[in-house]
Amino acid sequence: MDNDLLDKIVISFFLFPEEDHKKLHKEPPSEALYPDLTSKSRSRTSILAKRSLDIVGSLFCLLLFSPFFLIFSLLIKLTSKGPVLFKQERIGQFGRKFKCLKFRSMYLNNDPTIHKQFVQQLIAGKVDVNRSECGGGTSTPYKIQRDPRVTPIGNILRKSSLDELPQFWNVFVGDMSLVGPRPPIAYEVECYDVWHKRRVLEVKPGITGLWQVVGRSSTAFDDMVRLDLKYVRDWSIWLDIKLLLKTPWVVITGKGGH
């Protein structure tokens, strides 16, 4: 190579992380190298606002729906054997496991294989979300239509999403948020592509969210994840309030809004 060209070649480097920690306090850190650090101070107020909304909203809903807790508990006990509540291990923010609460909608000792296979096919894009096995637009894509494991009262609760009312307790104790991505099951996460996993890293899982309001069961899995990530990118306390106000209509009609 020509010596003149070699003289023009410049090699630069940046030691990361810096060994001189004092430098971090004298000069503002680079946003390119420390995106979390530079945004931390801006997000503290937002995080506090979201958590405050979760506490107030979940406590209000627990009190508001307390009569339904009693009614559903009696119906579940009278129509099938087993506990009123179903506790399932779910994956929360940063991969933290927690017990997600639901009203029990299935018979005891059921085989989860049918759901595992369905979830694997759904994530792989091999399931038509508009067909009846996904709920036909009246449920979520993870609830199989005409599932033989579901009790009669459980079928009503699942179609109306009322089986998820106990999750307000998960929100109150901090496992979940009122608004956020749906909390996945461990065997679901095992099927995720790398970019899918961002939905369990960015924010706490929620009872409702952007994809539930916009798409519901008519949304393919990849599109559902994109909506979750769009929610994270566009988040504001007003977006949470807007989605919360739209959720009752979506639950009643069984269709996503736009």
37 lies in some domain: no
On the CB side of 202, CA atoms within 13 Å amount to 21
For residue 74, the enclosing domain spans 46-253
pLDDT values of the chain reduced to their tens digit, one per residue, 258 residues: 566 666 656 665 555 444 444 444 445 545 554 455 444 444 788 889 999 999 999 999 999 999 999 999 999 999 999 999 999 999 999 889 999 999 999 988 777 788 888 888 888 887 766 554 544 443 455 666 667 788 989 888 988 889 999 999 999 999 999 999 999 999 999 999 888 888 888 889 999 999 888 866 556 888 889 999 999 888 999 999 999 999 998 888 766 544
**Cα–Cα dist 33/37, whole Å:** 9
Rounded distance, CA 139 to CA 115, Å? 15
Strand, helix or coil at 8? helix
Total structural domains within the chain: 1
User: Domain for residue 226, yes or no?
Assistant: yes
Per DSSP, 85 falls in state: E
203, 232 Cβ separation under 8 angstroms: yes
- How far apart CA 15 and CA 28 sit, in angstroms, is 16
In a domain, 132, yes or no: yes
Q: Indicate whether 15 belongs to any domain.
A: no
Asked if the structure places residue 62 within a domain, the reply is yes
Residue 220 located in a structural domain: yes
5 lies in some domain:
no
The verdict on residue 12 lying in a domain is no
**Per-residue pLDDT at 201:** 84
From 99, 17, 50, 3, select the one nearest 236 (Cα to Cα).
50
What phi and psi, each to the nearest 5 degrees, are found at residue 199? -70, -20
